[in-house]
Structure 1
């Protein structure tokens, strides 16, 4: 039923207990008021290509009935010309999206990101892009990108590249997420392309440091003796952590976050359920590693779900820099956790362990290797090469002793 929409009429309409009621104007077809349990809102509606388009004009009280009707005439005129006002409104909102709003939407969309990756992205936002947080995304020009990259690079070329790779991912996301009224992306071109077009990316030499063969005996004995010259509460845990890295080639976070539920001491294996490449990775435990973990289990089982527990927020130990520095002071060998992974791989290669076994041990992807796709990576096939690496390292300790 149609009514002559006036202020008096709208004022007199009662709020329904639930749902919505629609009152349409008898004079202007397509104009009306929608009444909910606590609101009265004017609208205009018509069809484009036989599809109903309804546009909200505003709340009764903010708009008078006469003002709403005049606005409805404009809206209905646009619809008659095939223009959807909702698309225009959506486009305007898209164009006003800030860098921080896009980042928040990106995190929601990328629920598969690892905690470490999210931490790094949030750090980039706070450290390098703080002044851009409330800036519309479309206002980030190629010139701004080039200038920012150069500015960060003056302090750290590596961080400059990483920060811009993050920003490139953000713009790629925005390219598919935000559109104008015609369905075209508001990001016509990813501004990070400027760095490739001008060859401005910094050339970062990949770190190649390892524990040299001549330093291994001194280094290993310094690690083994760590609890003796660094009598802190967790020096024994740090010793075991460093040995686990060197004897397995695990990445830093993979070792630190290892959980007991993923260690099978009976069958002499342990599993990384969600490593860097997202493919669950199971490795054999040599007798040396089994003994190391068994002792840790006997001391800590029941106190924590983690092999290297901590009272911190994460529940497991942070990177133990102080104790690592103690090892360096003792043996004179500077190292990082990833140096131990590179040393493990270097030793494996020197022992002529097959390339496929080495890749399995390091959990490197072999997606581009057709032959590798036919090889079944049974953990038992890795037990022998793992033992050879362990034997080499243990022999090194005995040589020093």
Structure 2
């Protein structure tokens, strides 16, 4: 039929499916091949144009009826078909123009959409870098972010924190690498000339940030423990104690749920780990007592609940500052993990047991793949580590060798 104003006004609206899902109907114009009307069960009427391009039928929505008249839609359809006749792909042309104008904000969101398995902490770090280092670049087109801008911004933030400056630039580099592959012309050539963050490598401008190697020393353990006992919140105190006694990563401990705790087998299991390998640890007497006490008063699926939106405890920065002030021991949550493994190593615990205690995996260690490790093999080493900490906290008679002091 010929699509006219009268036809569009009177066209029948297709019914929705029995389950309520929307449907649509297409009406093709008899005068201009490829020009048509799409009508949905919701009452929407839109003009379309279709044409086979490079062996595939491509469809473009020209606009809604009301925003466009029938005659205006016909003219737009003729322009589209004219370009196709001259060898141009109008849809690709529009996408290429959009790609050339892609902003950092849009490219970052697109990058995250393709990285569905990122850990919550990693996502938070990425967002923080974008929010702190590149807040004023969000609306800039990627092609307008230059090497000189990168060098200047890296140097500016490096004066405050070299580690954060490097981390932020690594995030920016990943977004640009993603964009180089994502946004290309019809011949497969990227619209971006290069990744501007590469200038940091060319100029050797990356900072040499030494990894933190701090931990709580033996003679500091009693002061640290006494300070934790002065915290007003029992949940935070127990959380700090569990991290020290297990060596768990901060998020692994914070997100621990009661279905991960087996009081019968006396084990706790972390399934969502950094290396994706299930991590199972046995209770020691102190860990069992801590968990039983918490279980009696449980009000949440989480072992360490919080009133916050996420439901579980987040990093207790205020409590850490208070414990540091009271004890004189400056520490981070990862320092507790380092303290745990350092104590384990000094207690002469076997190498494979050490790896399992920390859930470290060496991809180059072929032998490790053949060993079926029983969690019971870790029970004695775990108890030795707990006894060591309790002794230095003044809660248990020391059974450690005389030369354990660091």
Task: Specify the TM-score bucket, using the shorter chain as the normaliser.
Answer: 0.7 to 0.9
| 1:278-336 superposed Cα distances (whole Å, 9 cap, x missing partner) | 322111111221122222222x22x1222222222232334334444444344432222
Whether 1:176 and 2:181 are equivalent positions in the alignment is: yes
- Name the counterpart of 1:341: 337
Q: What are the equivalent positions in structure 2 for 1:98-117 lying under 5 Å apart?
A: 98-117=103-122
Whether 1:33 and 2:36 are equivalent positions in the alignment is: yes
Question: CA RMSD, aligned part only?
Answer: 2.7
| 1:20-62 superposed Cα distances (whole Å, 9 cap, x missing partner) | 3434353xx535332525425253x443444334444445665
- Name the counterpart of 1:273: 271
Q: What is the aligned residue count?
A: 383
Mean Cα displacement is larger for which, 75-84 or 112-121? 75-84
Q: Is the 8 A contact 2:44 2:64 kept in 1?
A: no
- Name the counterpart of 1:196: 201
Mean Cα displacement is larger for which, 51-60 or 358-367? 51-60
User: What TM-score do you get using the length of structure 2 for normalisation?
Assistant: 0.84
User: What TM-score do you get using the length of structure 1 for normalisation?
Assistant: 0.85
Whether 1:363 and 2:359 are equivalent positions in the alignment is: yes
- Residues in 1 aligned to 2:59 and 2:239: alpha-carbon distance in whole angstroms: 63
Q: Is the 8 A contact 2:104 2:138 kept in 1?
A: yes
Q: Is the 8 A contact 2:99 2:183 kept in 1?
A: yes
Where 2:11 maps in the other structure, the secondary structure is coil
- Name the counterpart of 1:163: 168
User: How far does residue 266 in structure 1 lie from its aligned partner after superposition?
Assistant: 1.8
Where 2:216 maps in the other structure, the secondary structure is coil
Q: 1:71 to 1:38 in 2, by over 3 A?
A: closer
Q: 1:225 to 1:265 in 2, by over 3 A?
A: farther
Q: What are the equivalent positions in structure 2 for 1:80-91 lying under 5 Å apart?
A: 80-91=85-96
- Residues in 2 aligned to 1:21 and 1:330: alpha-carbon distance in whole angstroms: 74
Structure 2, unaligned stretches of length 5 or more? 15-23, 399-406
Q: Is the 8 A contact 2:47 2:73 kept in 1?
A: no
Question: Of 239, 242, 252, which aligns to 1:241?
Answer: 239
Where 2:166 maps in the other structure, the secondary structure is helix
Question: Of 219, 222, 245, which aligns to 1:220?
Answer: 222
Q: Is the 8 A contact 2:227 2:326 kept in 1?
A: no
User: How far does residue 341 in structure 1 lie from its aligned partner after superposition?
Assistant: 0.9
Q: What are the equivalent positions in structure 2 for 1:244-259 lying under 5 Å apart?
A: 244-259=242-257
- Name the counterpart of 1:320: 316
Q: Is the 8 A contact 1:39 1:59 kept in 2?
A: yes
Structure 1, unaligned stretches of length 5 or more? none
- Residues in 1 aligned to 2:118 and 2:328: alpha-carbon distance in whole angstroms: 38
- Residues in 2 aligned to 1:326 and 1:67: alpha-carbon distance in whole angstroms: 70
| 1:347-397 superposed Cα distances (whole Å, 9 cap, x missing partner) | 111122222221111112222222222222321122222222223223333
Where 2:36 maps in the other structure, the secondary structure is strand
- Residues in 1 aligned to 2:348 and 2:323: alpha-carbon distance in whole angstroms: 30
Q: Is the 8 A contact 1:223 1:239 kept in 2?
A: no
- Residues in 1 aligned to 2:300 and 2:46: alpha-carbon distance in whole angstroms: 57
User: How far does residue 72 in structure 1 lie from its aligned partner after superposition?
Assistant: 4.2
Q: Is the 8 A contact 2:269 2:281 kept in 1?
A: yes
